[in-house]
């Protein structure tokens, strides 16, 4: 039974979705009735131009091709950005091991982030080891909640986005507002030494500092800080 005969028998008005479903289930229907479809699409009543079904198919292919080109362009741009980021990280890794004083090291880290990744701002929250005495007190953690955050973050071993529940759990409201986008990064290789809060300056997280990059950055900073700890 054809689609037309079925329609006459049931006297049920076909919906657009029914036609599309039928065509998807019967992919050869169009090619088997190509003359019919050419008649259907032969006249553009708006301007009188003759349009073949083949023309419509070609236009569809051109559209798909343009979409593919767009995706490829996005991939290429992403690769270029990743290469630039890797170059920045390489430079950063070489520089952080050259400092003799921890306060100069931390100043460099803050300046580097501010210059190279302007979409974010960072705040250190460190445990006060003996070798960190040259740092201002504002860099050190205070209270059991912060120590608990540092230990739990170290156990996680990876950056994570701070949720409203975590802001309340660790009493972080002094630094983090509920509308802020903030990622907390663990610091420490052998043992926890602190965290870095990475606050994005816009509500949407920037593309230049994703979690894998933050993890690499935090690990490099951890190695550079641990050399100052007096064991």
Stated as kind and residue range, the H or E segment containing 196 is strand 194-200
User: Is 113 in the same domain as 212?
Assistant: yes
| Helix and strand numbers, DSSP H then E, in the chain | 9, 4
pLDDT tens profile 11-20: 567 777 777 7
**What whole-number distance in Å separates Cα of residue 213 and Cα of residue 120?**
13
**Range with lowest mean pLDDT among 61-70, 92-101, 112-121:** 61-70
Rounded mean pLDDT of the chain? 75
Select the more confidently predicted residue: 198 or 211: 198
User: Is 163 in the same domain as 55?
Assistant: no
User: Is 110 in the same domain as 55?
Assistant: no
* Residue 41 structural domain: 3-62
Answer yes or no: is pLDDT of 47 > 60.
Answer: no
User: What's the number of CA atoms in the CB half-sphere (13 Å) around residue 91?
Assistant: 11
User: Is 213 in the same domain as 108?
Assistant: yes
Evaluate whether residue 179 is within a structural domain.
yes
CATH number, position 171: 3.30.450.40
What is the model's pTM?
0.62
Evaluate whether residue 79 is within a structural domain.
no
Answer yes or no: is pLDDT of 46 > 80.
Answer: no
Answer yes or no: is pLDDT of 207 > 60.
Answer: no
- Spatial neighbors of 41 by CB under 8 A, at least 6 apart, are 51, 52, 53, 55, 56
User: Is 122 in the same domain as 21?
Assistant: no
Q: Give how many domains the chain has, as a whole number.
A: 2
Evaluate whether residue 87 is within a structural domain.
no
Helix, strand or coil, per DSSP, at residue 120: strand
pLDDT band at 45 (very low <50, low <70, confident <90, very high): very low
């Amino acid at each position: 039974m054809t689609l037309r005969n079925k329609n006459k028998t049931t006297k049920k008005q076909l919906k657009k979705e029914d036609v599309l479903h039928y065509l998807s289930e019967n992919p050869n229907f169009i090619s088997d009735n190509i003359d019919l479809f050419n008649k259907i699409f032969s006249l553009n009543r708006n301007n009188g131009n003759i349009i073949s079904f083949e023309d419509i198919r070609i236009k569809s292919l051109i559209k798909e091709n343009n979409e593919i080109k767009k995706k490829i362009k996005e991939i290429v741009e992403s690769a270029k950005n990743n290469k630039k980021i890797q170059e920045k990280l390489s430079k950063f890794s070489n520089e952080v091991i050259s400092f003799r004083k921890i306060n100069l090291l931390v100043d460099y880290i803050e300046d580097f982030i501010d210059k190279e990744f302007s979409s974010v701002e960072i705040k250190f929250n460190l445990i006060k080891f003996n070798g960190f005495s040259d740092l201002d007190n504002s860099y050190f953690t205070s209270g059991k909640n912060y120590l608990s955050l540092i230990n739990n973050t170290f156990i996680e071993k990876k950056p994570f986005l701070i949720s409203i529940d975590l802001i309340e759990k660790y009493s972080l409201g002094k630094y983090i507002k509920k509308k802020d986008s903030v990622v907390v990064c663990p610091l420490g290789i052998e043992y926890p030494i602190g965290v870095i809060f990475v606050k994005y300056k816009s509500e949407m997280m920037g593309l230049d500092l994703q979690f894998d990059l933050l993890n690499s950055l935090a690990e490099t900073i951890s190695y550079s800080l641990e050399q100052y700890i007096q064991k």
